[in-house]
Amino acid sequence: MDRKLVKRRSDTTWLVERTGKMHVDGVIFGSEQLINDMDDMVVRQVQNVAGLPGIVEGSFAMPDAHWGYGFCIGGVAAFDPDAGGVVSAGGVGFDISCGVRTMHTRLKEDAFLPLRERLADALFRKIPAGVGSTGRVKLSMSRLDGVLSGGAMWAVENGFGDKDDLRFIETGGCADGADPSQVSEQAKKRQLEEMGTLGSGNHYLEIQKVVQVYDQEAAAAFGIEEGDIKISIHCGSRGLGHQIGTDFLKKMTVTAKMYAIELAERELACAPLNSPVGQSYLGAMRAGINCALANRQMLMHLVREVFEEIAPHGTIRLLYDVSHNTCQREQHTVGGKQKWVFVHRKGATRAWEPGRAELPAEYRKAGQPVLIGGTMGTASYILAGTAQSERLAFGSACHGAGRNMSRHAATQKWNGKEVVERLAHQGILIRSRSMRGIAEEAPGAYKDVSEVVEATHQAGLAKKVAKLVPLACVKG
């Protein structure tokens, strides 16, 4: 990044000063090294978002930020509907409610290692993954509407999991205000056979070991100890979410012109929150959130089935489920007053502070678990929300490592089979149907996740609780 584009405010906070058509300042979080390695496009996209109507407080980018569609990946912005605030499909992303679900197993490393190969193979067989993968549940249109209305609640009611799971999912496992009637028939058709599937790209199911605990009190609240075996699932709303994004990008391009909204680029197409198209998108997007929550719930049920067969002394229990491609109606401090605003988080995770009534009682003192995914061969982290995060960026944090190389460039540099062999030498089993997909997602194609997490911690966006390393990974 051209350092002339930003001004340093602290070791981990960089100001993009309000200029031209920006309504607010921009703020990028990151260490000096992360800032140096960021593309100038991150600054440009932070500036472009700052010029959208009704934005409040600032246009933010998390430490894992990189160029995205409209908003940068890692972008956070809140909009006031009473001040003409807008909602943008590009500010949510095409994989609506892509997120991470982390589970306890009650296993320690010594009990897990003799079962590692069997569990990895069984999960690979059980979990549908890859481009075009289909699940074992084939839905009718009417049943799919139930998924889109009920989310993880629908999944539990239909035999996929336990009611207690819902307490450990954002919004209780169901996004209020979902409106399946606003989802196109094409989007629904794409999802009829994709429920309970992992997908491709950077999505995965990973068996992990806790290797370090940084905050004993928060770790105890979350049920984390060194040596624990955890399982994390990273996936989203599959074809349905992508189609919702595609459908509404077209509608919002027209709507922005109708309301004389000047866009810095077409990818920022948006609609006023209080407009018919804005309300329609919110209903469809919330249906997409419910699709993703139900999908991860169904995948967790499949994991439980595998463990019941191979490791019956292990017990799969949900630690937490967080999404990182959403627009949520939340109450925050704006101009010194509490106000309802719509917070876009694209490639960013909600990181609510201790004391929030929405959190499970067990976590309320520690803050919300923030789940940061790794890259097959690198660590993942569990953090906790902080009181500072509310003040800094509407209670938001990073979501992962963030790419530093395109998928095409990665395939030119790495061979999938060689990546699998190298990771096996490191004690990490990889199961995948696509060697090209492995090359695209090679660990070296991403930023250093440990540096991203450290910058997040130092900035006060979230605090480090535990570090986990991969032992086995199922990829699409």
Hey, how many other C-beta atoms are within 10 angstroms of the C-beta on 305? 13
What does the alpha-carbon distance between residue 209 and residue 229 come to, in Å, rounded to a whole number?
5
399 tagged catalytic:
yes
Question: What is the distance in angstroms between the CA of the first residue and the CA of the last residue of the chain?
Answer: 33
Helix H or strand E segment including 454? helix 449-459
Task: Out of 203, 234, 344, 399, pick the active-site residue.
Answer: 399
Contact 348, 64 (CB under 8 A): no
The full length of the chain comes to 476
Residues 6+ apart with CB under 8 A from 434: 130, 131, 200, 416, 475, 476
Residues 6+ apart with CB under 8 A from 470: 206, 207, 208, 374, 376, 377, 378, 379, 380, 428
* Strands 99-108 and 86-88, sheet pairing: unpaired
Return phi, psi of residue 380, to 5°.
-115, 165
Q: Of 248, 323, 327, which Cα lies nearest the Cα of 292?
A: 323
Residues 6+ apart with CB under 8 A from 432: 129, 130, 416, 420, 438, 474, 475, 476
DSSP letter (8 states) at residue 169: B
Helix H or strand E segment including 57? strand 55-66
Q: Which residues are known to be catalytic?
A: 399
